[in-house]
């Protein structure tokens, strides 16, 4: 029996045989869209469930019944929740995220700026912390249970054990207040010269590096050690390879999947989870932007931020899976 | 410098006290002749502002939801921004709080203070070069009061029924007489904009000493000097940069490292540490803002005046000022007015902590069991600590207070003005009339103590239209007593505004009007070096 559905299934199966990776990516992307839609429903419902609507919270203690009514009418807040949701969704499908209720400016325009700032900071923090963490992890394995390993472990664990705002304050006190060599506050703005921009983010980047370093370094160390105890590493040693070369050539590629996963999680954190660092260093990123919007229930902004954060997580996790599959032939051809 | 002497010095700087008076009063306050003479010299020299330079301010209270439109100003940040680029018709005097001319040159009420005529200043230019006309003024006031208004000043202007241009003068007709009308027009939302701001409320075109150069909501705002400013006694620096710094520690670090010249909202808990920095000067101003514990007079068990009195006597005000405000404040007396208001009612006995009286009234009220108090850290800084402190002092009077800590998010819509006993705060108002009308008149939207007293309402309305100051003062005395002895307000403390500057700036004026030198800080400071 050749029903159409079976035909599709067969085609899919054949595609999977010939282009396993493309099929996987297409499937994941399809699922992501579904996930993003679910996220938007959750956020919308969540903000609705919060006490007080935009008109009340925006006017705060200076609200009068008339001004509240005027704002509600202006924004159409008095209409049913489903109408408002589908109206918003209709806009998004056409690429229009709407205007911020508070400022009246297009959300896309504001978010581009803030997201740019967040990515700028995250990029430099990642560019320093990822190679550093992986490198230190390898060094730690090489000197396992000896002094360098211990020092790396203790220092990185101490850094992760301190809350990030505390690391931030310590850096500010020493480098900005006492020595006066670092730029503080780290406010960046339009048309800021590139060199000043880099100087401004020095302290927040250092803070973020310290916060994410230990996690990635320890995972690198643990993954390599587990690979090291396998039989093929013994063979490598027996055939006369030097210890460091054996780690780089044989252990690292096999240990890559768990490391890449941890790296992806930390990268996502660097983009979406650094609101505390933003506040301490007065850095205008996405985190503070979303918190401000939630405080006054500015729905279009909250939604857009939520979707971007979700998309960052989904994409980075997908990238991690793809890297793991590419690095490991066994995953590439599942039986 | 001790408080009174500092106050005298700032009055010298503001041209309000001559040498003889200053030295006499400073010596009376404990200064030697030599010290007083030298201080006078310094303060008088401070009259000569230096011009030029780039002034940087690190301010709490900005958010990415801020807008330039003055009608929608609600944060400390936009409040200070409005003062930079715009002017109101009337300003309030920094030390007396009385109405002084700004864009309105002079004004005149009719006999019952229900119709007011304002002369508008001539020859004032907007930033775009257009001249200020009566039309702009009328349209601005219309925009804040029309039926579509979303303005924060809508409540203040509720009694204005007619806004007209009569032969080039502004004529305001009120639904009932109001002797304080000019001061209402000093509200920071009421910035005069070209065409009333109907076309583009966010343009930021005004008549103020600085033009907006760049504004990124929740990040920073920059300004350049308005070379065509109609006043020469303000706006001394070439450019101003205001940076949003919502973290108290970040503000302190930025100030003590000299990255900014001024910060607001210094935390009373850490002000002692900041004082130790050699390049920093703390600027405290007695304010009208107050922290309150409010009971609904119409809700059981608080509908019993003996219980309300018991709870008032159970409050240890001195300790509150010392512990919660770090000493930067004054004790309150359960009515929302302090001596910074014109026509302050003198001679009302200060209510003190008295566990015996509290116990007596508590027993008389017949109330059994505990009293539930709701609080949150957003009610005022240290509100939860204050509630715990209050719980302890009440315990000594045999009153059991149960504290319920509410989430900060949504506190203003779910707890304040909803629940029968909670903590809250009030900023000051320009006049006694406005303070009482906002929160103690039976029909007020914000009657957050549910204080319904027809005698009180009657006197309030009479006093509003009374142009005889002595009679008016007498009426305010009676009203204060009613609120103090029968109201639902427990007012333990008036909080000072605590700001800080670096030592290389001068010109900070202790302005009782509001925080940050009533928002005028950037227009008043100048750089010394």
Helix, strand or coil, per DSSP, at residue B433: helix
Question: According to DSSP H, which parts of B171-236 are helical?
Answer: 181-184
B150 touches A: beta carbon within 8 Å: yes
Q: ∠ at Cα B163 (B158, B164), nearest 5°?
A: 170
The Cα of A242 is separated from the nearest Cα of chain B by a number of Å equal to 51
Measured CA to CA, the distance from residue B127 to residue B192 in angstroms comes to 12
Q: Which two tokens stand for residue A271?
A: 């983009």
Binding-face residues of B in 197-236 toward A, CB within 8 A: 202, 214, 216-220
B414 with A173: Cβ contact below 8 A? no
Helix, strand or coil, per DSSP, at residue B431: coil
Q: Which two tokens stand for residue B153?
A: 């000043």
Looking up tokens 């960046």 gives A188
Question: According to DSSP H, which parts of B170-244 are helical?
Answer: 181-184
**Nearest residue on chain B to A289, alpha-carbon basis:** B64
Quote the pLDDT of residue B1: 45
B65 with A102: Cβ contact below 8 A? yes
Quote the pLDDT of residue A335: 53
Quote the pLDDT of residue A208: 94
Q: Choose, out of B160, B252, B413, the residue to mutate when testing the contact with A (most A CBs < 10 Å).
A: B413
Banded pLDDT at A1 (limits 50, 70, 90): very low
Banded pLDDT at A102 (limits 50, 70, 90): confident
B44 touches A: beta carbon within 8 Å: no
- Say whether the peptide bond before residue A105 is cis (omega within 30 degrees of 0): no
Partner-chain residue, chosen from B219, B249, B445, that has the shortest CB–CB distance to A64: B445
Quote the pLDDT of residue A2: 52
A184 with B214: Cβ contact below 8 A? no
Quote the pLDDT of residue B294: 96
A110 with B250: Cβ contact below 8 A? no
B254 with A103: Cβ contact below 8 A? no
B409 touches A: beta carbon within 8 Å: yes
Q: Choose, out of A103, A111, A175, A297, the residue to mutate when testing the contact with B (most B CBs < 10 Å).
A: A103
**Nearest residue on chain B to A69, alpha-carbon basis:** B150
- Out of A101-110, A307-316, B28-37, B391-400, the most confident range is B391-400
B221 pairs with which residues across the strands? B215, B242
B65 touches A: beta carbon within 8 Å: yes
The Cα of A299 is separated from the nearest Cα of chain B by a number of Å equal to 12
Quote the pLDDT of residue B156: 82
A184 with B259: Cβ contact below 8 A? yes
B257 with A177: Cβ contact below 8 A? yes
Q: Is the CB of residue A176 less than 8 Å from the CB of residue A184?
A: yes
Per-residue pLDDT at A90 exceeds 80: yes
- Say whether the peptide bond before residue A185 is cis (omega within 30 degrees of 0): yes
Terminal-residue alpha carbon distance, chain B: 23
Measured CA to CA, the distance from residue B428 to residue B512 in angstroms comes to 9
B218 with A288: Cβ contact below 8 A? yes
**In B, which residues are within 8 Å of A180 by CB distance?**
257
**In A, which residues are within 8 Å of B245 by CB distance?**
185, 282
* pLDDT tens across the length of chain B (529 residues): 455 566 666 666 555 666 666 666 666 565 666 565 555 555 555 568 999 999 999 999 888 889 999 998 888 999 999 999 999 999 999 988 889 999 999 999 999 999 999 999 999 999 999 999 999 999 999 999 988 888 888 878 888 999 999 999 999 999 989 999 999 999 999 999 999 999 999 999 999 999 999 999 989 999 999 999 999 999 999 999 999 998 888 999 999 999 999 999 998 888 888 888 899 999 999 889 999 999 999 998 999 999 999 999 999 999 999 999 999 999 999 999 998 898 999 999 999 999 999 999 999 999 999 999 999 988 898 999 999 999 999 999 999 999 999 988 778 878 988 999 999 999 888 889 989 998 999 988 789 999 999 999 999 999 998 989 899 999 999 999 999 999 999 999 999 999 999 999 999 999 988 999 999 999 999 999 7
For β-strands B54-59 and B262-263, DSSP reports them as: parallel
DSSP string, A165-201: HHHHHHHIIIIIIIS--S--S----TT--HHHHHHHT
Rounding to the nearest 10 degrees, give the CA dihedral for residues B511, B516, B518, B519.
Answer: 150
A298 with B65: Cβ contact below 8 A? yes
The Cα of B374 is separated from the nearest Cα of chain A by a number of Å equal to 16
Residues 6+ apart with CB under 8 A from A188: A117, A120, A197, A200, A201, A283, A284
B374 touches A: beta carbon within 8 Å: no
The Cα of A169 is separated from the nearest Cα of chain B by a number of Å equal to 8
Residue A39's CB: how many other CB atoms inside 10 A?
Answer: 18
The Cα of A268 is separated from the nearest Cα of chain B by a number of Å equal to 23
Question: According to DSSP H, which parts of chain A are helical?
Answer: 4-18, 20-49, 54-59, 65-75, 81-93, 107-142, 147-161, 164-171, 194-200, 202-228, 231-238, 243-246, 252-272, 275-281, 286-295, 299-327, 329-332
B254 touches A: beta carbon within 8 Å: yes
Q: Is the CB of residue B239 less than 8 Å from the CB of residue B55?
A: yes
Partner-chain residue, chosen from B151, B220, B254, that has the shortest CB–CB distance to A67: B151
Measured CA to CA, the distance from residue A47 to residue A306 in angstroms comes to 11
**In A, which residues are within 8 Å of B148 by CB distance?**
70, 74
Read off the DSSP letter of residue A247. I
pLDDT in tens, A191-225: 889 999 999 999 999 999 999 998 899 988 998 88
Q: Is the CB of residue B331 less than 8 Å from the CB of residue B350?
A: yes
**Nearest residue on chain B to A294, alpha-carbon basis:** B409
Measured CA to CA, the distance from residue B70 to residue B48 in angstroms comes to 32
Residues 6+ apart with CB under 8 A from B254: A184, A185, A282, B58, B243, B245, B260, B263
B445 touches A: beta carbon within 8 Å: yes
**In B, which residues are within 8 Å of A184 by CB distance?**
253-254, 257, 259
Q: ∠ at Cα B42 (B41, B45), nearest 5°?
A: 80
Q: Is the CB of residue B517 less than 8 Å from the CB of residue B83?
A: no
Decide if the complex's ipTM is over 0.85: no
**Nearest residue on chain B to A284, alpha-carbon basis:** B219
Helix, strand or coil, per DSSP, at residue B522: helix
pLDDT in tens, A171-191: 999 999 888 898 888 999 888
For β-strands B526-527 and B505-506, DSSP reports them as: antiparallel
Measured CA to CA, the distance from residue B10 to residue A57 in angstroms comes to 39
Partner-chain residue, chosen from A59, A74, A177, that has the shortest CB–CB distance to B256: A177
B149 touches A: beta carbon within 8 Å: yes
Quote the pLDDT of residue B342: 86
**Nearest residue on chain A to B408, alpha-carbon basis:** A295
Of all residues in chain A, what percent carry a pLDDT higher than 70? Answer: 95
Mean pLDDT value across chain A: 87
Residue A236's CB: how many other CB atoms inside 10 A?
Answer: 19
B130 touches A: beta carbon within 8 Å: no
- Can you give the pTM of this predicted structure? 0.85
Q: How far is CA B43 from CA B39, B87, B111, B280, B508, in A?
A: 6, 28, 43, 18, 12
Chains A, B: CB contacts within 8 A come to 125
Helix, strand or coil, per DSSP, at residue B119: strand
Helix, strand or coil, per DSSP, at residue A124: helix
């Amino acid at each position: 029996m050749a029903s159409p559905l079976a035909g599709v299934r067969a085609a899919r199966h054949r595609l999977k045989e010939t282009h396993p990776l493309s099929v996987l990516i297409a499937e994941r992307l399809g699922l992501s869209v579904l996930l993003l839609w679910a996220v938007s429903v959750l956020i919308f419902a969540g903000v609705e469930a919060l006490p007080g609507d935009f008109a009340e919270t925006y006017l705060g203690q200076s609200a009068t019944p008339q001004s509240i009514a005027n704002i509600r009418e202006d924004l159409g807040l008095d209409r049913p929740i489903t109408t408002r949701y589908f109206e918003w969704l209709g806009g998004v499908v056409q690429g229009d995220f709407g205007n911020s209720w508070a400022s009246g400016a297009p959300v896309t325009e504001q978010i581009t700026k803030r997201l740019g700032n967040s990515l700028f900071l995250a990029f430099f923090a990642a560019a320093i912390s990822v190679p550093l963490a992986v490198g230190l992890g390898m060094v730690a394995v090489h000197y396992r249970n000896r002094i360098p390993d211990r020092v790396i472990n203790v220092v990185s664990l101490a850094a992760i054990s301190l809350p990030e705002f505390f690391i931030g304050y310590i850096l500010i006190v020493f480098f900005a207040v006492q020595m006066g060599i670092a730029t503080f506050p780290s406010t960046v703005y339009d048309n800021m010269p590139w060199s000043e921009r880099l100087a401004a983010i020095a302290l927040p980047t250092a803070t973020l590096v310290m916060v994410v370093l230990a996690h990635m370094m320890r995972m690198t160390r643990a993954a390599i050690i587990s690979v090291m105890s396998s039989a093929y590493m013994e063979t490598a040693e027996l055939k006369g390879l030097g210890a460091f070369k054996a780690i780089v050539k044989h252990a690292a590629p096999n240990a890559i999947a768990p490391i890449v996963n941890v790296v992806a999680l930390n990268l996502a954190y660097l983009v979406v989870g650094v609101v505390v660092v933003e506040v301490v260093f007065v850095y205008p990123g996405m985190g503070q932007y979303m918190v401000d919007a939630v405080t006054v229930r500015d729905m279009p902004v909250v939604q857009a931020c939520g979707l971007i954060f979700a998309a960052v997580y989904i994409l980075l996790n997908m990238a991690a899976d793809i890297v793991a599959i590419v690095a490991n032939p066994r995953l590439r051809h599942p039986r | 410098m001790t408080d009174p002497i500092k106050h005298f010095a700032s009055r010298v700087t503001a041209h309000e006290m001559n040498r003889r008076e200053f030295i006499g009063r400073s010596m009376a306050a404990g200064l030697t002749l030599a010290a007083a003479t030298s201080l006078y010299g310094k303060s008088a020299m401070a009259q000569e502002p230096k011009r030029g330079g780039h002034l940087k301010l690190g301010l709490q209270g900005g958010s990415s939801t801020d807008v330039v439109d003055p009608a929608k100003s609600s944060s400390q940040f936009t409040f200070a921004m409005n003062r930079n680029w715009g002017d109101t018709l009337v300003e309030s005097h920094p030390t007396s709080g009385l109405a002084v001319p700004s864009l309105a040159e002079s004004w005149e009420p009719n006999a019952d203070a229900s119709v007011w005529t304002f002369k508008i200043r001539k020859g004032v230019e907007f930033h775009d070069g257009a001249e200020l006309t009566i039309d702009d003024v009328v349209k601005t006031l219309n925009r804040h009061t029309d039926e579509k208004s979303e303005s924060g000043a809508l409540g203040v202007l509720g009694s204005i029924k007619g806004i007209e241009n009569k032969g080039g003068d502004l004529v305001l007709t009120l639904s009932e007489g109001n002797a304080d009308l000019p001061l209402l027009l000093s509200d920071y939302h009421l910035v005069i904009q070209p065409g009333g701001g109907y076309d583009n409320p966010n343009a930021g075109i005004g008549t103020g000493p600085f033009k907006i150069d760049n504004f990124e909501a929740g990040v920073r705002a920059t300004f350049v000097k308005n070379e065509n400013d109609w006043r020469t006694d303000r706006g001394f620096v070439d450019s101003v940069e205001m940076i949003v710094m919502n973290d108290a520690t970040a503000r302190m670090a930025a100030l003590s490292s000299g990255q900014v010249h001024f910060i607001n909202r210094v935390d009373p808990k850490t002000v002692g540490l900041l004082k130790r920095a050699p390049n920093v000067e703390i600027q405290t101003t007695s304010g009208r803002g107050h922290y309150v514990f409010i009971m609904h007079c119409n809700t059981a068990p608080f509908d019993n005046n003996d219980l309300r009195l018991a709870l008032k006597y159970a409050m240890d005000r001195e300790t509150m000022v010392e512990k919660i405000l770090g000493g930067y404040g004054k004790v309150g007396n359960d009515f929302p007015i302090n001596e910074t208001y014109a026509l302050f009612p003198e001679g009302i006995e200060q209510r003190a902590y008295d566990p015996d009286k509290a116990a007596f009234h508590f027993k008389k009220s017949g109330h059994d069991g505990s009293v539930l108090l709701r609080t949150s850290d957003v009610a005022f800084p240290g509100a939860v600590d204050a509630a715990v402190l209050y719980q302890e002092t009440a315990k000594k009077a045999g009153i059991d207070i149960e504290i319920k800590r509410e989430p900060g998010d949504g506190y203003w819509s779910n707890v304040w003005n909803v629940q029968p006993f909670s903590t809250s705060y009030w900023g000051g108002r320009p006049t006694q009339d406005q303070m009482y009308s906002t929160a103690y008149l039976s029909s007020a939207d914000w009657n957050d103590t549910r204080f319904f007293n027809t005698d009180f309402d009657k006197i309030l309305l009479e006093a509003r239209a009374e142009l005889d100051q002595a009679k008016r003062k007498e009426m305010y005395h009676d009203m204060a007593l009613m609120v103090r002895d029968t109201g639902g307000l427990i007012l333990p403390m008036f909080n000072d505004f605590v700001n800080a500057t670096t030592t290389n700036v001068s010109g900070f004026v202790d302005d009782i009007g509001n925080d940050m030198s009533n928002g005028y800080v950037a227009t008043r400071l100048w750089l010394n070096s």
